[in-house]
Amino acid sequence: MMEKGQFTKHISQQFNEELENVRQRVLTMGGMVEEQIERAMEALENLDPELSKEIIERDEKVNAYEVSIDEECTRILAKRQPAAGDLRLVVAIIKTITDLERIGDEAEKIARMANHIALDMDNFMPSKKQFGAVVHLGNHVRNMLNEALDAFARLDVDAALKVAHKEKTADKEYNAITRQLITYMMEDPRSISSALDVMWSARALERIGDHARNICEYVIYLVEGKDVRHVSLEEMKQLAQKK
């Protein structure tokens, strides 16, 4: 088991530096993705086509970062043939950057939906209440991601478990938004196109919450060596704390 906040130290200083470098690059990528979410929510709230375009274009940088980190991990696997905790670290990094790239894709979707709504305002303008609920969900899942990355940086299993539990709130908020939008569409068919765009934005945010939970699962795997995917939150807690 890897101690909280500790990485294996090797006789080879170069190997230590390679592992630390790739870990730091994951956190840098995480920061890029957090910014994409924040800007996507700003584009949605303000219906800003120019900002939406910037977010869509910047997604290519996130994708390129994933490819670069993945290539570095492949090189480490081939050259160093890591075992035990080192191997789990590289595997956890590969999985984490996949989820971060998908979070970037979800942020891009929100930007596209913001652009669609801006072009369709003559037919339907979402209410402040609807936007407020979506913005609240956006803040919640962005905080989840931030805390998940912090747990990854500190190898903090307890923090990872706390973040994973917050996924339930994201699901509840998404379901409430969906019910409200369906009511609007039934009452006014003209609202269907833009209301669906808002709904898809909320769905993208709910998926971001799912990906943040995934990152927490990788933290537990990295530190404890236990696979907690596809289990309930209670089972996850029991597995993570079982020595």
What is the number of other CB atoms lying within 10 angstroms of the CB of residue 201? 28
In a domain, 145, yes or no: yes
- Alpha-carbon distance 93 to 39, whole Å? 25
What's the pLDDT score for residue 5?
45
- Alpha-carbon distance 49 to 40, whole Å? 11
- How many domains, the chain? 1
What's the pLDDT score for residue 12?
66
What's the pLDDT score for residue 235?
64
In a domain, 39, yes or no: yes
Residue-wise burial string across 206-229, b where 16 or more C-beta atoms lie within 10 A, e elsewhere: bbbbbbbbbbbbbbbbbbbebebe
Residues of the chain falling short of pLDDT 70: 1-12, 121-130, 230-243
In a domain, 44, yes or no: yes
In a domain, 3, yes or no: no
pTM of the model: 0.89
What's the pLDDT score for residue 8?
55
In a domain, 63, yes or no: yes
- Alpha-carbon distance 124 to 122, whole Å? 6
Give the residue numbers spanning the domain of 40: 13-241
What's the pLDDT score for residue 191?
78
Here the CATH number for the domain that contains residue 114 is 1.20.58.220
What's the pLDDT score for residue 119?
79
In a domain, 2, yes or no: no
In a domain, 47, yes or no: yes
- Alpha-carbon distance 195 to 156, whole Å? 40
In a domain, 73, yes or no: yes
What's the pLDDT score for residue 239?
63
